[in-house]
Amino acid sequence: MEGGDHLAHERKKAQFDVEAMKIVWAGSRHAFEVSDRISKLVASDPAFRKDNRPMLSRKELFKNTLRKAAYAWKRIIELRLSEEEASKLRFYVDEPAFTDLHWGMFLPAIKGQGTEEQQQKWLPLAYKMQIIGCYAQTELGHGSNSSKWWPGGLGKISTHAVVYARLITDGQDHGVHGFIVQLRSLDDHSPLPGITVGDIGMKFGNGAYNTMDNGVLRFDHVRIPRDQMLMKVSQVSREGKYSQSNVPRQLVYGTMVFVRQTIVADASCALSRAVCIATRYSAVRRQFGSQNGGPETQVIDYKTQQSRLFPLLASAYAFRFVGEWLKWLYTDVTQRLQANDFSTLPEAHACTAGLKSLTTAATADGIEECRKLCGGHGYLCSSGLPELFAVYVPACTYEGDNTVLLLQVARFLVKTLSQLGSGKQPVGTTAYMGQVEHLMQCHCNVQKAEDWLKPAVILEAFEARSARMSVACAKNLSKFTNPEEGFAELSGDLVEAAIAHCQLIIVSKFIEKLQQDIPGKGVKQQLGVLCNIYALFLLHKHQGDFLSTGCITPKQAYLANEQLRALYSQARPNAIALVDAFNYTDHYLGSILGCYDGNVYPKLYEAAWKDPLNDSVVPDGYREYIWPMLKQQLRTARL
Ligand SMILES: CCCCCCCC/C=C\CCCCCCCCCC(=O)SCCNC(=O)CCNC(=O)[C@H](O)C(C)(C)COP(=O)(O)OP(=O)(O)OC[C@H]1O[C@@H](n2cnc3c(N)ncnc32)[C@H](O)[C@@H]1OP(=O)(O)O
Ligand SMILES: Cc1cc2nc3c(=O)[nH]c(=O)nc-3n(C[C@H](O)[C@H](O)[C@H](O)COP(=O)(O)OP(=O)(O)OC[C@H]3O[C@@H](n4cnc5c(N)ncnc54)[C@H](O)[C@@H]3O)c2cc1C
């Protein structure tokens, strides 16, 4: 079948209103309209072409990114795009660039840690891109005193950086503080005296994150004017006297809370993109299983394919909703901080750190699983999956290594439990710890598979598992005379307790979402199926935790798996419509396997001939290397 919609028969199977689901996915009608308009704007502009990225050399690739960034900025100004529209434009251009760090970290660092005066001086320059900044925290070695190494945008483009370094006055070390430092001349871009700066080299994958100039930076007797220390949290007077404002020192790390929150929202985008490709292709691909000469089976109908694919589809939706909630939490904590209420900062830190860790790990693994779900064709660059994986996978490391972040969550959990004794009632995401006595001894009430569809049953099982794992850690920790030694020794268990807590957050936020009014025929019902798939898939995957803590019995674990299989069958007819609801353009997906019309094979065939290797029938190098070898073989054969 040439042309036409090869997935039309799949789309007809949908049991819900796809247009209404698009609004739910986008967050609101307004968000949908902005996203839809900007995605089409980018897709229809040849200046944003990206299919040639894997073929370009590093220098060509980087220059191309600079061109796109400058062009995007020009369009933002010409079209008078709002901040929301501009950030959607960046999203659909789909190419990491120095501008991400400028807008995503340099500006927020000044906003969060600069005084009013400092903000008035620096923000207008940064907003007009009259200076370009990056965020320089990570070191080549360790200790905030060697060379900065990794900051994006630093290598070749940034004129300024917020640099994190130790502040020492009168011989006293006051710890790490942020400083605005000019790195390059605003006239000819050369590094200022005493500054050594450059790119750190090629990274994983062709194209991919190599559009970014991650950099190295060294200072040799560089003087930073006193008023360029970010002084909202602490100050140094003209006389060199150090003082602290009446705000927690942890605010110095506030930019990370902001960025981690955006990374969680971004995880649902990256995962949904991979899932969209794998789901459409799984419906197009037929392999074996034909009976009586009929067509072969669509691979999406294999239960094994469903049990690998549908939990990822459900995870994409789960991460979307937890990302929405996290955005609310971040806005709430920001408003509280402005009113000098710092009480929710530890929770915001624990949630952003933990959810960043969980969602990025699941997304990176999920993209790779989607590649495998697409068989051999998934390994072609034209599937879009290799580049997506290579661009995405550092999210498990940047903005805090995922294990290090889970240890931050574990500290928060242990602290929360230790405060129960003093009568402090836990709130927010740890409110369930207030019921710890009940959760330590409750019994799951599941008798038949359908009992697992009750939200209260699911929630109690996840709460009990999390509480029991945290309590076990706290008990074991109390056996150590040195708490830090105990924390180090038990860090493996603590990480698992943190994972259980974060999974509970995601499951509970999905359930809360379903308690809202969700318009559209069948939409809520489909989301209910996905929510149950997400929860029961986790329960099945981590059944060792649930069983060993006595939260469920082996029979109940078996029933959960039985229910999960039934849920996959319910999701099957809706699968294509559920990925259509992401509303991704073919340009954004960048994948032949995932194209909307499902016309995969002719497009793959055509794309192959566009590869530079196929420019000539006989390749370069044939005369030099292959021809003499063939001749040699001929001679040997005659001998
Ligand atoms: C118009 C155009 C528009 C375009 C728009 C484009 C927009 C783009 C938007 C966004 C894009 C962003 C792009 C991002 C790309 C990726 C960039 C990656 C950047 C980086 O990687 S930056 C480097 C980040 N580094 C880390 O994350 C390091 C990880 N380590 C930690 O977080 C450590 O905790 C620490 C280094 C911060 C501290 O360590 P330490 O001093 O030892 O302190 P601790 O003992 O751990 O903690 C003490 C105390 O503080 C609490 N705490 C720790 N961190 C935080 C925090 N972030 N917030 C609040 N509180 C924190 C901790 O719980 C302890 O509390 P306690 O004393 O126990 O109560
Ligand atoms: C693509 C990319 C972009 C980046 N962009 C920026 C940027 O713009 N600005 C910036 O400042 N930085 C940036 N970074 C750096 C990034 O933030 C760090 O790489 C990250 O925070 C991890 O730190 P590390 O590299 O020192 O890892 P390490 O801390 O050395 O981790 C190595 C291993 O040790 C383990 N480990 C470390 N500490 C502990 C512990 N306490 N307990 C148990 N295990 C531990 C980790 O789990 C990991 O397995 C970027 C990194 C990448 C890959």
Name 176's bridge partners.
166
Task: Classify residue 432 by burial, with Cβ atoms within 10 Å: 0-12, 13-18, 19+.
Answer: buried
Q: What is the mean pLDDT of residues 587-615?
A: 96
Which of 178, 126, 124, 174 has the alpha carbon at shortest distance from 148?
178
Nearest ligand to the C-alpha atom of residue 255 = 1
**Distance separating the N- and C-terminal Cα atoms of the chain:** 54
Which of 310, 526, 349, 515 has the alpha carbon at shortest distance from 428?
349
Nearest ligand to the C-alpha atom of residue 150 = 2
Whether the CB of 135 sits within 6 Å of ligand 2: yes
Whether the CB of 209 sits within 6 Å of ligand 2: yes
Which atom of ligand 2 is nearest to 488's Cα?
42
Q: Is 366 annotated as a binding residue?
A: no
Q: Where are the alpha helices (DSSP H) in 187-286?
A: 254-284
Q: What is the mean pLDDT of residues 546-555?
A: 98
Which atom of ligand 1 is nearest to 83's Cα?
1
* Rounded Cα distance, 404 and 21, in Å: 36
Whether the CB of 96 sits within 6 Å of ligand 2: no
Percent of the chain residues topping a pLDDT of 90:
91
- Phi then psi for residue 249, to 5 deg, are -60, -25
Whether the CB of 87 sits within 6 Å of ligand 1: yes
Q: Number of H helices and number of E strands within the chain?
A: 24, 8
Q: What is the mean pLDDT of residues 263-271?
A: 98
- Phi then psi for residue 56, to 5 deg, are -85, 150
Walk across the sheet containing 215-219 and list its strands: 148-149, 215-219, 195-199
Q: In angstroms, what is the C-alpha Rg of the chain?
A: 27
pLDDT of residue 1: 44
Q: Whose CA is nearest to atom 54 of ligand 1?
A: 253
- Band (pLDDT 50/70/90 cuts) for residue 249 is confident
pLDDT of residue 206: 79
Task: Classify residue 322 by burial, with Cβ atoms within 10 Å: 0-12, 13-18, 19+.
Answer: buried
- 3-class DSSP state of 214: coil
pLDDT of residue 288: 81
* Rounded Cα distance, 529 and 43, in Å: 33
In a domain, 225, yes or no: yes
202: containing domain:
115-231
* Rounded Cα distance, 127 and 110, in Å: 12
pLDDT of residue 142: 77
DSSP per-residue letters across 273-286? HHHHHHHHHHHH-B
| Beta carbons of 260 and 352 less than 8 angstroms apart | yes
Which tokens sit at 118? 């400092």
* Rounded Cα distance, 73 and 3, in Å: 37
ipTM comes to 0.97
| Beta carbons of 197 and 191 less than 8 angstroms apart | yes
Whether the CB of 408 sits within 6 Å of ligand 2: no
Say how many Å lie between the CA of residue 156 and the centre of ligand 2.
22
Express each pLDDT in 223-242 by its tens digit.
999 999 999 999 999 999 99
pLDDT at 578 over 80: yes
CATH number for 173? 2.40.110.10
Which tokens sit at 450? 């359908």
pLDDT at 144 over 70: no
Say how many Å lie between the CA of residue 257 and the centre of ligand 1.
6
Say how many Å lie between the CA of residue 421 and the centre of ligand 1.
30
Express each pLDDT in 332-345 by its tens digit.
999 999 898 999 99
* Rounded Cα distance, 400 and 403, in Å: 8
* Rounded Cα distance, 88 and 257, in Å: 21
Which of 310, 286, 282 has the alpha carbon at shortest distance from 297?
286
* Rounded Cα distance, 577 and 582, in Å: 9
Which tokens sit at 304? 């094994």
Tell me how far CA of residue 604 lies from CA of 247, 300, 611, in angstroms: 58, 20, 11
DSSP per-residue letters across 25-45? HHSSHHHHHHHHHHHHHHHT-
- 3-class DSSP state of 584: coil
In a domain, 239, yes or no: no
Q: What is the mean pLDDT of residues 176-192?
A: 97
Amino acid type, 372: K
Q: Strand 234-236 to strand 215-219: parallel, antiparallel, or no bridges (unpaired)?
A: unpaired
In a domain, 280, yes or no: no
pLDDT of residue 341: 92
Q: State the catalytic residues.
A: 399
pLDDT at 421 over 90: no
Which tokens sit at 489? 């020794």
pLDDT of residue 2: 52
Q: Is 138 annotated as a binding residue?
A: yes
Lowest mean pLDDT: which of 292-296, 464-468, 569-573? 292-296
| Beta carbons of 563 and 531 less than 8 angstroms apart | no
Q: What is the mean pLDDT of residues 22-29?
A: 98
Lowest mean pLDDT: which of 80-89, 151-160, 422-431, 519-528? 422-431
Distance of CA 87 to the CA centre of its chain: 16
Q: What is the mean pLDDT of residues 531-539?
A: 98
Express each pLDDT in 314-360 by its tens digit.
999 999 999 999 999 999 999 999 898 999 999 999 999 999 999 99
- Band (pLDDT 50/70/90 cuts) for residue 143 is low
pTM, rounded to two decimals: 0.97
Name the DSSP letter for residue 215.
E
Query: What residues contact residue 276 under an 8 Å CB cut-off, 6+ apart?
Result: 579, 582, 584, 589, 594
Nearest ligand to the C-alpha atom of residue 176 = 1
DSSP per-residue letters across 440-458? HH------SGGGGG-HHHH
pLDDT of residue 406: 98
In a domain, 498, yes or no: no
| Beta carbons of 333 and 344 less than 8 angstroms apart | yes
pLDDT of residue 595: 98
Which of 370, 335, 430, 424 has the alpha carbon at shortest distance from 593?
370
Average pLDDT across the chain, whole number: 95
Domains: count for the chain: 1
pLDDT of residue 512: 98
If you search the block for the tokens 């942020």, which residue do you land on? 178
Whether the CB of 346 sits within 6 Å of ligand 2: no
In a domain, 604, yes or no: no
* Rounded Cα distance, 198 and 264, in Å: 30
Q: Where are the alpha helices (DSSP H) in 96-244?
A: 98-101, 107-113, 116-127
pLDDT of residue 207: 83
Q: What is the mean pLDDT of residues 567-577?
A: 98
